[in-house]
Amino acid sequence: MIDLNGKKYVVMGIANKMSLAWFITQSLKKAGAQVAVNFLNEKMEKRVRPLAEEVNAEIIQQCDVTNADELKSFFETVKEKFGQIDGLVHAIAYAEREDLEGRFIDTSREGFLKAMDISAYSLVDVAKHAEPLMTNGGSIVTLSYLGAVRVVENYNVMGVAKAALEASVRYLAADMGPNNIRVNAISAGPIKTLSASGIRDFRSMLGKAEEQNPLRQNIDGESVGDTASFLLSPLAKHITGDVLYVDCGAQIIK
């Protein structure tokens, strides 16, 4: 059992009860941690606020990562209420639906930059805001997918953004390591969420994973949640710059 009593974490990326960020939040709470969460916009607030209240989140605040003022104000609130934090979860990604189907070569410049900005650069930006609050060291966890290192049908521009995200994990780990801040990614197998539903033919990704991975099953949110809690805990004190696969072994199969 992971013990996170007295520890404080920022979790970014809850949209609804299917969100990986929500499973991570629940796991952190089960381990005794306090949490601060964001929501993207007013529309999302309706779903996120009741969930966050269910786990007594100390902070529930709007923060679109492309909005510098909202990002600044979110971390100011975190500083006011928590003072110091022990870690941060980045479970944020976005690409236009038309860029998640067909040929990757057809990706527009605008679509490419948007996917990179929200899905990869935002990790760098939130890490920069979180670093001064991690005065006792800390741990940052982001979410990736196999499409970062292999060509996966329809994943297209998001695969390129995840490759940049995984490289950012390594550079951030090198930068922040001397301050005892660890940075890692979980590469999760496919799981039905709001974002996943934007990928064309996502059902067949789920079907293929179940047929072909060594464990012949799909992952569940709880295992991603508990793996994140482990990486955010002192149990993982010597793990940084890594990508940990929670995918029933899919990555070892050609």
Which are the contacts of 123, defined by CB distance < 8 A and separation ≥ 6?
90, 140, 142, 165, 168, 169, 172
Residues in 117-146 that interact with ligand NAD by CB under 6 A: 118, 143-145
- The verdict on 248 binding ligand NAD (CB under 6 A) reads no
Q: Which of 94, 101, 131, 241 binds ligand NAD (CB under 6 A)?
A: 94
Candidate segments 61-69, 95-103, 208-216, 236-244, binder of ligand NAD by CB under 6 A: 61-69
Please state, in angstroms and rounded to a whole number, the distance separating the CA atoms of residues 206 and 218.
7
In the bound state with ligand NAD, the residue whose beta carbon lies nearer, of 179 and 217, is 217
Please state, in angstroms and rounded to a whole number, the distance separating the CA atoms of residues 229 and 99.
32
Instruction: Fill in the per-residue mask, 181 to 220: x = in contact with ligand NAD (CB under 6 A), - = not in contact.
Output: -------x-xx-xxxx------------------------
Residue with tokens 């941060």: 88
Q: Please state the separation of Cα 76 from the chain's center in Å.
A: 21
Asked about 121 being catalytic, the answer comes back as no
Confirm if 47 and 53 have CB atoms less than 8 A apart.
no
For the chain, the straight-line distance linking the first and the last C-alpha, in angstroms and rounded, comes to: 34
Query: Both tokens of residue 155?
Result: 């994943």
- The verdict on 149 binding ligand NAD (CB under 6 A) reads no
Residues in 10-29 that interact with ligand NAD by CB under 6 A: 13-15, 19-21
**Active-site residue set:** 145, 155
> Binding residues for ligand NAD, per CB under 6 A?
13-15, 19-21, 40, 44, 64-66, 91-94, 118, 143-145, 188, 190-191, 193-196
